[in-house]
A = this chain, B = another copy of it.
Amino acid sequence: SAASGDSHCATNGVPIVRNISELDQDSYGRPGLSHITIAGSIMHGFKEVEVWLQTFAPGAHTPIHRHSCEEIFVVMKGSGTLYLASNSHKKYPGNPQEFPVFANSTFHVPVNDAHQVWNTNGHEDLQLLVIISRPPVKVFIYDDWNVPHTAAKLKFPYYWDERCYQTSPTKDEL
């Protein structure tokens, strides 16, 4: 299959030790983002957890989104803001709470809460280690905070999973 020719997609397993600075790094079409899948499900064959290293340039941000997995962040560098709408009883996220995040902090997103991470620091990159459960991630995207939960759009596979998903032999199992 095409997978075997694409070094990006190590569906037959990965070396035990890898140098993170030699791993694939890409914006995956998102302005100001640098994403590295340190340990991936579709990309590397991990089944229960996935680990990303993401760097957001000043002003860069995630979409407003939700997912039903656990998500834990460790802030490696910089600072920013987590916007979190916990009012899951409403029909739409509504105004989110703002949580400042900073180097050497950890934060998490409760399962299914709509959220967005911004680098709101004008001067420094925001670097995050991101851990999610139950990969591959199934992300529902909101165009704004007033979009009804039922109208959020599933993006699957997600940006960095697309390339390997198209060629993955596990596709039929998902």
Contacts and interface: CB of A to CB of B under 8 A. Distances in A.
Interface stretch (A101-109, A141-149, A155-163, A164-172): A101-109
Q: State the majority secondary structure of interface residues on A.
A: strand
Contact of A101 (B17, B21, B134): B17
Identical copies of this chain, number: 2
Q: How large is the interface on A (under 10, 10 to 19, 20 to 34, 35 or more residues)?
A: 35 or more
A60 interface: no
A149 to B, nearest CB: 20
Interface in A14-47: 14, 16-21, 38-39, 46-47
A77 B131 CA distance: 19
Contacts of A129: 74, 129
